[in-house]
């Protein structure tokens, strides 16, 4: 039985082209602003490596890395999940501390 074909990743492109991950990412995202300077020869080498390996961008990974969905709006489900995961430990500590505070008041005999 043949081994399952592995998906070509940006890491594979970096190895074939002999460049950094940042360079591959910049070429794939077609960045050409003042902060990113890629020599035309390097850009061609990366594009040739992409063609040689048959690299296809993973749309799911791209959406996960982006802060916006396909329609340009914020990814509310991801933001809500992050907010929930952040708030959960705070709520647990609050519930535990509240119970101990009430128990402490009950043991001291303070009357309201």
Confidence band, pLDDT 50/70/90 cuts, at residue 69: low
- Beta bridge mates, 47: none
Instruction: Give the HSE-up count for residue 52: Cα atoms under 13 Å, Cβ half-sphere.
Output: 13
Q: Is 43 exposed, middle or buried (0-12, 13-18, 19+ CB in 10 A)?
A: middle
User: Which CATH code is given to the segment(s) 1-57?
Assistant: 1.10.260.40
Q: What's the predicted TM-score (pTM) here? A: 0.52
The residues spanned by each domain of the chain are 1-57, 71-112
Q: Which two tokens stand for residue 14?
A: 């970096």
Residue 92 has pLDDT above 80, yes or no: yes
């Amino acid at each position: 039985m043949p081994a399952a074909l592995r998906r070509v990743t940006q890491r594979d492109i970096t190895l074939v082209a002999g460049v950094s991950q940042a360079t591959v990412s910049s070429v794939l995202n077609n960045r050409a602003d003042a902060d990113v300077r890629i020599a035309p020869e390097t850009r061609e080498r990366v594009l040739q490596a992409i063609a040689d390996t048959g690299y296809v961008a993973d749309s799911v990974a791209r959406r996960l890395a982006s802060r916006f969905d396909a329609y340009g709006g914020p990814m509310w489900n991801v933001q809500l999940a992050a907010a929930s995961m952040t708030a959960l430990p705070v709520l647990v500590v609050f519930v535990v501390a509240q119970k101990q505070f009430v128990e402490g008041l009950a043991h001291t005999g303070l009357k309201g």
